[in-house]
Structure 1
């Protein structure tokens, strides 16, 4: 039995007239009659009661009409689903991200992607840069927002965000004694206790902080480590020390801390990039990359137009 046999039967059952059904199907009437007869022979039941004047459905024919319509509808749904999957508009996409990306680029990307591709099952996974690179290679992630610079064989990497590092101080700290918005010099952080992410977890961020301090003539005195940036900010609020974090973390408006900028001349920018496999087969990755690129470009254009 083929799907065309079901289509032939449904047309005859709905028209209850072989000539009109044949015209609807764009085939000749004798061929249609032969195909219906073969279908009945294959099923071993009579589906239609024929006379010279009219055609009627038998009891078996009425049951088969319901099933035939359901099978044709399921075929159409399956075909549409396959085509959506091939076009990247359905399926599953696993996205990795470093914690601070949840306060910067990630929310806008997720909103835009889900708005354009609502049928894609989007799953988000927070991991370090090193963990994401390994998971991408193992095909446990499809794309990942990682710290730059990073390098891994077989992966594409594009910068999507560059943001300065800012200082987090406990409220009432002696360095919080200047007009709001006035920057701190890195040299003023000498002698302070630093709360940091362990180098074993985020080497790029740790090394950037150390390099900033060395450039100002001192080594940071690490007094406490924490695995997540939001935990670092909580420890600063508790008075454990100060911290250097990506500027996007200002969005975490936690009581008990203040954020202070560093001078642009201190060269404090840290980069966030999008990583995906170079030989990617999933059709869903390409539209995700396209959306990220568009949002990153809009952000750069907006920042440029905002400059005096």
Structure 2
């Protein structure tokens, strides 16, 4: 038994006329009649009574009609579900990000983005700045949130977030009670350095700040993961310097303090390829800008 047998039977059951039912399904009547006979033979009982003047459903035919309609409806629903899944898979926005965006940007605008494009599949990839630049250039992601500068001239960007550099230290550190700390006062303590291979842009910003402050620190370890950094700081392995988004990620035994003197600011940029003209990307970029304006008020 195939779905076409059910379609033929439903058509003739509703029309009660083989000629009209065959025309409705654009099928030759002899073939149509044969399909109904094949169906009845497979079921083992007549579904229709036929005379030269009329066609009528048997009791078995009436029972079979309800079930046939249900099967056809379910088959159509399966088709629609599959097509919807295919559309969702095709409509995809792949977003690369650093922790700053995850903490300070996404909570403000992702709900609106999902409401605007309910069938859009948002895919998130946690990548370093270098990995994002490579993925954007190769069109593997649609938009990224990363540290400047951007090397590829085909990439466009908006600086969307500006953060302060803060000192991150154990909660029981001797300087933890100060309102702000001078980097020179931290120089005697072990320094946990951001790995240049993981976050080259941020590494360079921190190194530039230390040079400008004329302070020499003692690096004891390069760390390439912010949560690992928090764990090491909490264990008393040293202090570090990070953008202030980390204040949303602190462990109980870790704290932050502002740095004295001129503020060192760290920019986060939203970056995309100049050839990506998708409406979803344009809407996403607009929502990011709007969300950050609203948060700034």
Q: Shared fold by TM > 0.5?
A: yes
Which residue of the partner structure matches residue 146 of structure 2? 146
Shift of 1:59: 7.9
Which residue of the partner structure matches residue 216 of structure 1? 213
- Paired with 2:108 and 2:214, the residues of 1 have a C-alpha distance of 39
Say whether 1:165 aligns with 2:161: no
Which residue of the partner structure matches residue 174 of structure 1? 174
- Paired with 2:273 and 2:6, the residues of 1 have a C-alpha distance of 44
Confirm or deny: 8 A CA contact 2:17 2:55 kept in the other structure.
no
Confirm or deny: 8 A CA contact 2:167 2:241 kept in the other structure.
yes
Shift of 1:105: 2.3
Say whether 1:244 aligns with 2:241: yes
CA gap 1:289/1:148 in 2 versus in 1, 3 angstroms: farther
- Paired with 1:150 and 1:100, the residues of 2 have a C-alpha distance of 17
Aligned partner of residue 262 in structure 2, secondary structure: helix
Aligned partner of residue 290 in structure 1, secondary structure: helix
Aligned partner of residue 300 in structure 1, secondary structure: helix
- Paired with 2:152 and 2:30, the residues of 1 have a C-alpha distance of 61
Unaligned ranges ≥5, structure 2: 40-47
Confirm or deny: 8 A CA contact 1:250 1:259 kept in the other structure.
yes
Confirm or deny: 8 A CA contact 1:186 1:212 kept in the other structure.
no
Confirm or deny: 8 A CA contact 1:96 1:127 kept in the other structure.
yes
Shift of 1:302: 3.2
Aligned partner of residue 180 in structure 2, secondary structure: coil
Confirm or deny: 8 A CA contact 2:87 2:119 kept in the other structure.
no
Say whether 1:99 aligns with 2:99: yes
Q: Deviations over 1:164-218 (max 9, x none)?
A: 111112233333343xxx3334454444432121112211001101111222223
Which residue of the partner structure matches residue 40 of structure 1? 32
Aligned partner of residue 160 in structure 1, secondary structure: strand
Say whether 1:287 aligns with 2:284: no
Aligned partner of residue 164 in structure 1, secondary structure: strand
Confirm or deny: 8 A CA contact 1:16 1:55 kept in the other structure.
no
Which residue of the partner structure matches residue 43 of structure 2? none
Runs of 4+ in 1 over 6 A off after TM superposition: 3-9, 57-61
Unaligned ranges ≥5, structure 1: 23-28
| Greater mean alpha carbon deviation, residues 72-81 or residues 164-173 | 72-81
- Paired with 1:297 and 1:113, the residues of 2 have a C-alpha distance of 12
Say whether 1:131 aligns with 2:131: yes
CA gap 1:196/1:39 in 2 versus in 1, 3 angstroms: farther
CA gap 1:68/1:161 in 2 versus in 1, 3 angstroms: same
- Paired with 2:115 and 2:260, the residues of 1 have a C-alpha distance of 38
Which residue of the partner structure matches residue 269 of structure 1? 265
Shift of 1:269: 1.8
TM-score (norm 2): 0.72
CA gap 1:291/1:34 in 2 versus in 1, 3 angstroms: closer
2:199 is aligned, of 199, 202, 209, to 202
Which residue of the partner structure matches residue 298 of structure 1? 291
Confirm or deny: 8 A CA contact 1:113 1:288 kept in the other structure.
no
TM-score (norm 1): 0.70
